[in-house]
Structure 1
Amino acid sequence: MPLKASPADQALLLDLQQLDTSLQQLAHRARRLPENAALEAIEKQTAELRARLTAEEGTAEDAQRELSRIESDVAMVEAREKRDRDRLQATSSQKDIQALEQELASLANRRSDLEDAELEVMERVEQHTAVVAATRAELDEMQATRENTLAVRDDALGGIDSERKQATANRETIAAKVPAELLALYERQRERYGVGASHLRARVSSASGVELTGSDLAAVRAAAPDDVLLCPDSQAVLVRTDESGL
């Protein structure tokens, strides 16, 4: 036996469909907030900055290790020079004096070369340290931008969530008024086809946007007001009202 429901009960499905459409639109808005795309871009840029920082820190650490090695070599040369000077003051052997003076001259040249290298490496350490500091500053700025964007996104989501809760509450109120079998049909058609109810207005189905053909329109006209019909194109429950143009 075909499902029957009063025109008033069938008309409730239009309100239900309107709320379901609103809920879908709210979910779409939540997914498509511009802040979501901005956050994705920020995450990508942050990952790139972190990778760059890791490489820059590695370069700076290599330069610092090189500087430490040179400083150690300088300290060793200076210690050797002190030892030779002490020995030079303590010896009276002409042969030892000549050998120590030659070694001190060689050590002076070695220390001069090391100090030149030390200055060059110190400059590189300073440059690499500045680069690392600049990248860290970029990361800090990016983090601040991320936090601000999150705040804006969460505020927008809060507004959408309030609308969703209100629409859900209204939907529950209306659904409670719809006869169980009619509601089950609506839910089934909505799940299968995306739309549960379609308003027939001026002989056009709102769900499909298509005007009913002559034969379909004749079948609708022949149906009793409490007959539950389906739209031939969208398969949604076809709700007839005074605007249907029958």
Structure 2
Amino acid sequence: MPLKASPADQALLLDLQQLDTSLQQLAHRGRQLPENQALAELDKQVAALRVRLTTEEGAAEDARRELARIESDVAIVEARVARDRDRLQNSSSQKDIQALEQELQALATRQSALEDVQLDVMDRVESSGAVVASTQGELDALAAKRSELDAARDVSLRDVESERTHAVANRETIAGRVPTELLALYERQRERYGVGASHLRARVSSASGVELTGNDLATVRSAAPDDVLLCPDSQAILVRTDESGI
């Protein structure tokens, strides 16, 4: 036996469908918040900067290690110079003095070369450190921006959730007024086809956007006001009102 429901009860389904559509839109809005898109782009920038920072920190560490090695070499040369000068002051052998003076001259040349390299490496340490600090500064700025976006997203989400809560409450109220069997059919059709109720306005089904003609229109015209009909195209419950044009 075909399902029967009063036109007033069937009209409630249009309000229910409107709320369900609003809930779908709110869910989509929650997923597609501009803050989420901005955060995703920000995370890409952060990831790229972290890769860059790792490379820069490696270069800075290499420069520091090289400087430490050169400083060690300089210290060794300085120690040998101090030792040779001490020996030179306490030596009475002309041969030893001549040898020590030659070694001191060679050590002076070595020390000068090392100190030149040391200055170059110190410049590298300073410049690489500045590069690391600059990139870290960019990361810190992005972290601050992310905090702001997180806060803005939370506000937007609260707004969406507030609207959703209101819509759910209204839906529960309206669903409570719909007869059980009619509501079950609505829910079943909505789950299967995405839309549970369609308003027939000027012979056009709102769910499908298609105008009813021929046999479909004749079936609608011949149906009793309390007959529950399905839209031939969308399979949603076809709700007739004074605007249906039949």
The two structures have a TM-score, normalised by structure 1, of: 0.98
Question: Partners of 2:147 and 2:184 in 1: how far apart?
Answer: 45
Q: Which runs of 5+ in 1 are unaligned?
A: none
Shift of 1:99: 0.9
Which residue of 2 is the match for residue 175 of structure 1?
Answer: 175
The amino acid across from 1:87 in the alignment is: R
Which residue of 2 is the match for residue 237 of structure 1?
Answer: 237
Question: Partners of 2:158 and 2:126 in 1: how far apart?
Answer: 48
Question: Partners of 2:189 and 2:210 in 1: how far apart?
Answer: 18
Which residue of 2 is the match for residue 158 of structure 1?
Answer: 158
Kindly report structure 1 stretches of 4+ aligned residues shifted beyond 3 Å: none
The amino acid across from 1:9 in the alignment is: D
Alignment deviations for residues 104-161 of structure 1 (CA, whole Å, 9 cap, x no partner): 1110000000000000101111110110000000000111111111111111111011
Alignment root-mean-square deviation, CA: 0.8
Q: Which runs of 5+ in 2 are unaligned?
A: none
Which residue of 1 is the match for residue 46 of structure 2?
Answer: 46
Shift of 1:36: 1.3
Which residue of 2 is the match for residue 30 of structure 1?
Answer: 30
Task: Output aligned runs, 1:179-194, within 5 Å.
Answer: 179-194=179-194
Question: Partners of 1:210 and 1:51 in 2: how far apart?
Answer: 55
Question: Partners of 1:191 and 1:122 in 2: how far apart?
Answer: 70
Task: Output aligned runs, 1:63-212, within 5 Å.
Answer: 63-212=63-212
Alignment deviations for residues 193-217 of structure 1 (CA, whole Å, 9 cap, x no partner): 1100001111111111111112111
Alignment deviations for residues 1-56 of structure 1 (CA, whole Å, 9 cap, x no partner): 11111111111100000000000111111122111111111001100000000000
Question: Partners of 1:203 and 1:101 in 2: how far apart?
Answer: 114
Structure 2 counterpart SS, 1:224: coil
Which residue of 2 is the match for residue 14 of structure 1?
Answer: 14
Task: Provide the aligned length of Structure 1 versus Structure 2.
Answer: 246
Alignment deviations for residues 176-226 of structure 1 (CA, whole Å, 9 cap, x no partner): 111111111101111111100001111111111111112111111111111
The amino acid across from 1:169 in the alignment is: A
Structure 1 counterpart SS, 2:212: coil
The amino acid across from 2:182 in the alignment is: L
The amino acid across from 1:187 in the alignment is: E
The two structures have a TM-score, normalised by structure 2, of: 0.98
Structure 2 counterpart SS, 1:209: coil
Question: Partners of 1:209 and 1:101 in 2: how far apart?
Answer: 105
Identity of aligned residues (%): 76
